[in-house]
Amino acid sequence: MKTTRLFLCLVAFLSVTFAENPAGADEVVHFESAPVKLSPFRISKAREQGEILSQPQGTPLLGYLSRPQGDGPFPAVVVLHGCEGMRLSVKELWPKRLVSWGYVVLAVDSFTTRNIKDTCQSHLPDRVFDAYGALNFLSKQSFVDASRVALMGFSTGGTATLEGTKIEGNEQLMDRKFQAAVAYYPRCAATQGDATVPILILTGERDNWSPADRCRKRLANLSDDSPPIELNIYKGTYHDFDAPEFKVGRKVLGHIEKYNPDAAGKSIRSVRTFLQKYLSN
C-alpha cells in the first residue's frame, strides 16, 4: 500500500514538473552568423575585371533556445556571453528569467564552433555578425514576433551589443534590425556616437575592466537625434555584479569580478521595465 501511494505521488510530481517544463522548451539550435556583405565597390570592380564572386557565407554557430508556453508570437531577446564563454548566469539564469517575463530567448554560443575557450586575453572576430545571425534565425520562427527583438550582452558581449547598435556601424548592412539593446558592463567608447535603438547600459562604479567613465563620455557626445541611452551606475560594485556564481569575488587579469545582490536586483528590475517599454505591443 505504501509503495502504491509512493508511486502515485511520484507520478503526480512528474506530471506537474513536465507541465511546468514541457519537453522542447529548451533546446540547442544551429544557425549561422550574418554573412559579411560585399560592398557595391567590390562588386563593380569584380564586374570590370570579369571576376566571379562567391556568395559570402556565415560562420556556423550554436545557440540555446528557450521559450514561453504557447504559440506566440512572442517578443524575443538575443543574448551574447562575455569573454569567458557560456557561464551559468548567461546560459541558464537569465534565459529562465526572461522566459518568465514572456520572452523567447536565444543565447548565442560564439566559441564552441570556433574551437575557442575564451578571449579574455585575445580578440574575437566581430561578434556583431553573430548577433544578427541569431536575429535572422529568430525571424523565421512562427512563435517569434520579429518586429520585437532586443539584443542583450554581458562584458565583451555587451561591447558587441553597443557596436551592433551604433549609427554608421555594421547594423546598416543588415536587413533585419533590433528594436532595443541592453548592455551589462560593456567597454563604451565616445567614438561610437549615436545609437540606432534605445539602449540600457548597466555597470559598476568600481569596475576597472569596463570603466563607467567611458560610458559617461559617450553619452556626453550624443546628438539630439539619437535614440535614448540610459546609463545605470551602481556604487561600490565590480564587474559581473549580476552573476551569483561570483558570490565569492575573484581577481582575473587584475580585475575584480564580484556578485552584488542589491545591485543585481536593481538592475534586473531596470531591465524588465526597459524591455516592457520598448518591446510591448
pLDDT tens figures, 122-157: 776 679 999 999 999 999 999 999 999 999 999 999
Nine-digit cell at 104?
A: 523567447
Q: Is 60 exceeded by the pLDDT of residue 18? A: no
Distance separating alpha carbons of residues 25 and 96, to the nearest angstrom: 11
135 burial type by CB count under 10 A (0-12 exposed, 13-18 middle, 19+ buried):
buried
Question: Is residue 93 a contact partner of residue 99, using CB atoms and an 8 Å limit?
Answer: no
Indicate if the pLDDT at residue 228 is higher than 90.
Answer: yes
Closest C-alpha to 158, from 118, 198, 131: 131
Given CA atoms 234, 122, 65, 188 in this order, what sign does their dihedral have?
positive
20-53, pLDDT tens digit by residue? 333 344 899 998 998 876 556 556 655 666 666 5
Please report the domains of the chain, with CATH numbers, ordered by start residue. Answer: 26-279 (3.40.50.1820)
> What integer pLDDT is reported at residue 49 of this predicted model?
67
- Render pLDDT for 84-134 as a digit per residue (tens, 0 to 9): 889 899 999 999 999 999 999 999 999 999 888 878 777 766 799 999 999
What was the pLDDT predicted at 31? 86
Q: What is the pLDDT of residue 168?
A: 87
Per-residue pLDDT at 121 = 73
**Per-residue pLDDT averaged across 165-169, rounded?**
92
Q: Taking the model in full, what pTM does it have?
A: 0.84
Predicted local confidence at residue 242, as pLDDT: 95
Helix (H, G, I), strand (E, B) or coil at 151: strand
> What CA–CA distance (Å, rounded) separates 162 from 222?
14
Q: Provide DSSP, 235-258.
A: TT--BTTT-GGGSS-EEETTEEE-
Q: Is the confidence at residue 212, as pLDDT, over 80?
A: yes
What per-residue confidence (pLDDT) applies to 38?
A: 58
Instruction: Kindly indicate the confidence band of residue 19, based on its pLDDT and cuts at 50, 70 and 90.
Output: very low
Query: What is the average per-residue pLDDT within 204-223?
Result: 93
Residue closest to 171 by CA, chosen among 147, 145, 156, 151:
151
Do 224 and 254 contact (CB within 8 A), yes or no?
no
Measured between alpha carbons, how far is 63 from 187 in angstroms, rounded to an integer? 24
What's the chain's average pLDDT? 85
Residue 23's pLDDT is: 34
Q: What is the pLDDT of residue 46?
A: 56
DSSP string, 91-127: IIIHHHHHHHTT-EEEEEE-SGGGT-S--TTS----T
pLDDT score recorded for residue 146: 96
To the nearest whole percent, how much of the chain has pLDDT over 70?
83
Q: How far, in Å, CA of 167 to CA of 173, rounded?
A: 11
Give the pLDDT confidence of 244-274 residue by residue, as tens digits.
988 877 777 777 889 999 999 999 999 999 9
CA dist 16 → 8, 10, 12, 67, 235 (Å): 12, 10, 6, 18, 42
Cα-flanking dihedrals φ and ψ of residue 204, to 5°? -100, 145
Across 160-181, average pLDDT: 93
Residue 54 has pLDDT above 90, yes or no: no
145: left (phi over 0), alpha (psi -120 to 50) or beta: beta
Query: Per-residue pLDDT averaged across 202-222, rounded?
Result: 94
